Amino acid sequence: MAKPATRAASRRPIARKGAKAKRGMNRPSPTREELINFYRDMLLIRRFEEKAGQMYGMGLIGGFCHLYIGQEAVVVGMQAAINEASTVVTSYRDHGHMLACGMESRGVMAELTGRVGGYSKGKGGSMHMFSREKNFFGGHGIVAAQVPIGTGLAFGHKYKGEDAVCLTYLGDGAANQGQVYESFNMASLWKLPCIYVIENNKYAMGTAVSRGTAGTSLAERGAAYGIVGEEIDGMDVVAVKAAGEKAVAYASSGKGPYILEMKTYRYRGHSMSDPAKYRTKDEVNRMRQEHDPIDNVKARLAEAGVSDDELKAIDRDIRATVTEAADFAQSSPEPDPSELYTDILIEA
Amino acid sequence: MPIQILMPALSPTMTEGTLAKWLKAEGSAVEPGDVLAEIETDKATMEVEAIEEGTMGRHLVAEGTENVAVNTPIALLLTDSEDVSALDQSPSPVPDVALASATPTQAPAEPRGALPTPALDTDEERFFAATQIQTVREALRDAMAEEMRKDELVYVMGEEVGEYQGAYKITQGLLQEFGDKRVIDTPITEHGFVGLAVGAAFGSLKPIIEFMTFNFSMQAIDQIINSAAKTLYMSGGQMGCPIVFRGPNGAASRVAAQHSQDYTSWYAHCPGLKVVAPWSAADAKGLLKSAIRDPNPVIFLENEVLYGQSFEVPTDSDFTVPIGRAKVVRPGADVTVTAFSIMVGKALEAAEMLAGEGIDAEVIDLRSIRPLDVDAIVRSVEKTNRIVSVEEGWPTCGVGSEIAALMMERAFDHLDAPVARIAGEDVPMPYAANLEQLALPQPESIVAAAKSVCYRE
Ligand SMILES: Cc1ncc(C[n+]2csc(CCOP(=O)(O)OP(=O)(O)O)c2C)c(N)n1
Ligand SMILES: [Mg+2]
């Protein structure tokens, strides 16, 4: 399934007035080092999520737990396209986003087990984690609530004259909420540096896009507001990064928001308690076998002459990181009962 | 040594399940990701996938075994280097299990099986001559199905109510019986579909709106309050809005602040709405039927933890429970305890504990919060002279605050102690297991409050 490293991303510029998009022109192919980084970052998410799934099964993680397995290329590619000052906000399916932002595996895992060493001291859990240091603004449990919030972060970037964008991630199901369109209107009206990354993994819980969405091109959803949108192969991290860079250049030059519809797929159920009867095993297997984002990079790495041994060393490192995170998440104590009453208001 | 495969937890509230089927026979090769077995929970059938590779050594739990507790070893997996003789050595748990020494903290298991039918003091009693044991889940579904058979104008609408059979399986089978004209899957667009349903109700349809949970009703609260609740008044009585908003409310288990909130007092605040919050399956059924027949907007608050609990439910399809009437679920002489929804179970547990200390508590299930059956509470306080109000929601401006004020106005001369309020802690719901437990009212806190109003500390 090797693909030429220079292959242009499958993209479709929409509502683009004037200039035609240049298809894959002058785009340098990824360096060996870049590919290795993609591999490492995606594999970390994959292994982390597998471990989280296992720990959920053992009762160490409670509540809702939404895994990101299958979608790794989206967040890893986008993160590679932004600068340090940029901000990120997403939904409850947030573990991958946090790892990609550079948050530590152990802190994320310890939040999943509800321990004091977690990013929210155990008070937020899987769906509600944050890191001001890493410019990660959550982790939001209410479908689409993060969309106006991300628009507001972008508003702040513009207000303060920062060279930064906000990556606002949302699902295909979230794209039906009214507040998304209220956000699009304001973002376009005020030319806010907001990149809306719609992770179209084909399902909102048990509802296939075609059953919940009239007019299934989500990239076109901003057309009425004059927002440029593109559809990207979200299983191809190289294509994602290239699209991300273009969107960032556009948004940071003062032209306003941008929509990237990432065609992707989640391998696991919606959450740990989803029997996933709405799709066939075949469909899942086909995606895994033919479109896996990690296999995709592996093939590119082979072409670039990276040896199996080098990859194995990375695998070992990652397993060690994840094991260490799991150990920490189990040995970190539960929060002190007094924590129940802290962090409700800031003492003024 | 072989690896133990444990019964997995497959949902936030699962404590046990049925091992429905083995898909890997003893002796067959296992790859990571292979489906090993099918597990049935009260919600769904789920597949257990292999994490490690090896050979299926032995099934420790036979197909068809029910009530297998989470974390019970269900099979032994042989690793590459092992043969069957390894099965008789003492199995080593997978390394992760060994690490799992910090015991996973779980919400206390709710009482299982049929609870005793409470003493009855109203005309609902005659319906209890013929009953069946049903879960709250089944009772709710039957209520909707019976009303939909009777009245073509009744329809159900919400996220995942149709093909998925309900996120919590309350609408199970309704799509099959009534078709997709009357059982409608919506996009995730609460403000939109609630507004649409309010319009449909103005046009004399009778929508039942399922919120996947009441947390998401916040997206739609403007349409609920400003449109559904107020329009009758603003139109001088012309524009009735016969609609039911139902779904799970309050804390479930470990789903944290944005998914664990009790909205009872929020809705009870608003004129133009009726608000009910049943505990037993019989009340769930009887009140839901009344809500569907009611010409007004009714907020119908369910509880996820109660869905799987069983109670006696009258079989007569004419059985309904009038909105606005409380029920004494345990008569007593020394102290009145009011509660609703899941807290009724906690109050009954507390009453048992109090009985052990010689205090005879009367437990009242309010069932209906707006209108509130104040007469029933006053009647009880005239007898006991003491009252403790219990709710899961926050204390400030809560249902307990309202009851305290009403007792001042209506029963002041009968009170021998100040009204006591038990409520959820005044904090957003924490995720950590220990903190969640501390944030929710427990029977012990009800016992302490009851003793205090009896001056028995
Ligand atoms: C306002 C609101 N409504 C409903 C839910 C319940 N819910 C959680 S996730 C989800 C599906 C969202 O699907 P999508 O946006 O496609 O994201 P994905 O889960 O596929 O990443 C639903 C209905 C919620 N959390 N918030
Ligand atoms: Mg989706």
B438 has a chain A CB within 8 A of its CB: yes
Same-domain pairing of B260 and B134:
yes
> What does the pLDDT read at residue A1?
35
Show which of B65, B87, B102 is a domain's final residue: B102
Q: Are strands B335-339 and B387-390 parallel, antiparallel or unpaired?
A: parallel
Length of chain A: 348
Residues B375 and B238 in one domain: no
Return the residue in A65, A198, A273 with the most chain B beta carbons within 10 A, the one to mutate for interface testing.
A273
In the predicted structure, residue B116 carries a pLDDT above the cut 50: no
CATH number of the CATH domain containing B68: 2.40.50.100
Q: Give the pLDDT score at A12.
A: 43
Confidence of residue B15 (pLDDT cuts 50, 70, 90): confident
Of A1-5, A308-312, B354-358, B446-450, minimum mean pLDDT range? A1-5
- pLDDT for B444: 98
Q: Are residues B222 and B369 in the same domain?
A: no
Check pocket membership of B256 for ligand 1, CB cut-off 6 A: no
Region B79-85 average pLDDT: 79
CATH of the domain at B384: 3.40.50.920
Q: How far is the CA of A88 from the centre of ligand 1 (A)?
A: 19
Q: Is B40 a catalytic residue?
A: no
- B141, two tokens: 């579904």
For A173, A190, A216, the CA distances from A208, given in Å and listed in that order, are: 9, 33, 10
Q: Of A141, A110, A60, nearest to B256 (Cα)?
A: A141
Where in the sequence is the domain holding B37, given as residue range(s)?
A: 3-102
Q: What's the B426 CA to ligand 2 centre distance in angstroms? A: 34
* Confidence category of residue B90, pLDDT binned at 50, 70, 90: low
- A31-35, A153-157, B71-75, B108-112: which range is least confident on average? B108-112
- At residue A15, the pLDDT reads 43
Say whether pLDDT at A226 is over 50: yes
Report d(CA B436, CA B257) in Å as an integer.
Answer: 10
Q: What is the pLDDT of residues B374-406, one digit of tens each?
A: 999 999 999 999 999 999 999 999 999 999 999
**Is B432 close to A123, i.e. CB distance below 8 A?**
yes
Q: Is B74 exposed, middle or buried (0-12, 13-18, 19+ CB in 10 A)?
A: buried
The A residues from 13 to 42 touching B (CB cutoff 8 Å) are none
Instruction: Give CATH for domain A65-106+134-303.
Output: 3.40.50.970
Question: Which of B260, B284, B314 is at the close of a domain?
Answer: B314
Distance, in Å, from the CA atom of B232 to the CA atom of B351, rounded to the nearest integer, reads: 42
In tens, the pLDDT along A66-100 reads 999 999 999 999 999 999 999 999 999 999 999 99
- Give the predicted TM-score (pTM) of the model: 0.83
Ion ligand 2 neighbours (CB, 5 A) are: A 171-172, 201, 204
Same domain, B159 and B252: yes
DSSP state of B126: G
- Taking CB atoms and an 8 Å limit, are A59 and B191 in contact across chains? no
Nearest to A340 by CA among B156, B183, B434: B434
* Residues B273, B387 within the same domain: no
- In Å, what is the CA distance from B109 to each residue of B106, B117, B250, B302, B306? 8, 20, 17, 18, 11
| Smallest CA–CA distance from A144 into chain B, residue | B188
pLDDT at B340 > cutoff 60:
yes
Q: What are phi and psi of B412, to 5 degrees?
A: -55, -45
Q: Is B117 within a domain?
A: no
A199 bridge partner residues: A171, A262
Check residue A28 and give its pLDDT: 66
Residue B81 above 80 pLDDT? no
Residue pairs spanning A and B at CB distance below 8 A:
178
Domain count for chain B: 3
- Does the pLDDT value for residue B80 go beyond 80? no
Q: What is the mean pLDDT of chain B?
A: 91
Q: Is the pLDDT of residue B108 over 90?
A: no
Tokens representing B409 are 């106005």
Q: Position A12: which residue type?
A: R
- Distance of alpha carbon B403 from alpha carbon B389, whole angstroms: 7
| CA-based nearest residue in chain B for residue A340 | B435
Asked if A272's CB is within 8 angstroms of B10's CB, the reply is yes
Residues of B in contact with A212 (CB under 8 A): 185-188
CA of A262 to the centre of ligand 2 (A): 11
Tens of pLDDT, residues A9-58: 444 444 443 333 444 445 568 999 999 999 999 999 999 999 999 999 99
Omega within 30 of 0 (cis) for the link into B8: no
Q: Are residues B145 and B292 in the same domain?
A: yes
Q: Does the beta-carbon distance from B253 to A128 stay under 8 Å?
A: no
**B308 lies in the same domain as B384:** no
Q: Would the CB atoms of A177 and B188 count as touching at under 8 Å?
A: yes
B414 included as an active-site residue: no
Does residue A330 or residue B108 have the better pLDDT? A330
Give phi and psi for A260, each to the nearest 5.
-120, 115
Rounded CA gap, A60 and A272, in Å? 13
State mean pLDDT over B138-154.
98
Asked if residue B227 and residue B84 are part of one domain, the reply reads: no
In 3-state terms, what secondary structure has residue A52? Answer: helix
Separation CA B423–CA B411 (nearest Å): 22
What is the C-alpha separation between B269 and B40, in angstroms, rounded?
41
Task: Report how far residue B363's alpha carbon sits from residue B336's, in angstroms, rounded to the nearest whole number.
Answer: 6
Say which ligand is closest to the CA of A71. Answer: 1
Joined together, the tokens standing for residue B149 give 């058979």
Average pLDDT rounded to a whole number, residues B37-55: 84
Contact between residue B362 and residue B379 where contact means Cβ atoms under 8 Å apart: no
Bridge partner list, B77: B3, B56
- Residue B45 confidence class, pLDDT cut points 50, 70, 90: confident
B236 and B371 fall within a common domain:
no
**Does residue A320 sit at the B interface (CB-CB below 8 Å)?**
no
The C-alpha atoms of residue A54 and residue B113 are separated, in whole angstroms, by 30
Q: Are residues B238 and B343 in the same domain?
A: no
Coil, strand, or helix at residue A81?
coil
Which numbered atom of ligand 1 lies nearest the CA of A144? Answer: 1
* Residue-range domain boundaries for chain A: 65-106+134-303
Instruction: Give the DSSP letter string of B294-318.
Output: -SS-EEEEE-GGGTT-EEEEE--TT
- Region B159-181: mean pLDDT is 97
pLDDT at B352 over 80: yes
pLDDT tens, residue by residue, B261-283: 999 999 999 999 999 999 999 99
Same domain, B165 and B303: yes
Q: Quickly count: other Cβ atoms within 10 Å of residue A36's Cβ.
A: 18
Return the percentage of chain A with pLDDT > 90, whole number: 89
Model-level ipTM above the cut of 0.85: no
